[in-house]
Amino acid sequence: MRVTVPSAGAPAYHVICRCHKFAHLKQSAQFSSNIMGSIVSSIGNGINAIVSAIAGVIMTIVGAITSVIVTIFHVIADILCCRCFGSRRSGG
């Protein structure tokens, strides 16, 4: 701790404590950790958006393939049912 003697027109005593310097450094470190937290959070959100987009594309592709396979089975089933159980016309 340092105490300075006042000069003309200055306050009675001016006390400079070293703990203020450390408090400033602590605030600075906290500020930089907040910035780092924001950067890491932004990177995480970006990765999450990319993975979600890729998952959406894969789900769309799988849905389309499934629809095509189901449609093919429906067509095959319709053909078999019409041939096996369809009404036959008798020649007259």
Mean pLDDT over 53-82 rounds to 94
What pLDDT digit, counting tens, does each position of 1-54 carry? Answer: 455 555 555 554 444 555 555 555 566 666 677 777 888 899 999 999 999 999
- Show the CA angle centred on residue 29, arms to residues 24 and 35, nearest 5°: 125
- Residue with the bigger pLDDT between 62 and 35: it is 62
What pLDDT score was predicted for residue 47? 96
Q: Are 31 and 39 in contact (CB under 8 A)?
A: no
Residue 80 has pLDDT above 80, yes or no: yes
The full set of domain ranges for the chain reads: 2-84
In this model, does residue 71 exceed pLDDT 80?
yes
pTM reported for the whole predicted model: 0.51
Indicate whether 55 pLDDT > 70.
yes
b/e map of 17-36 (b: 16 or more CB within 10 Å)?
Answer: eeeeeeeeeeeeeeeeeeee
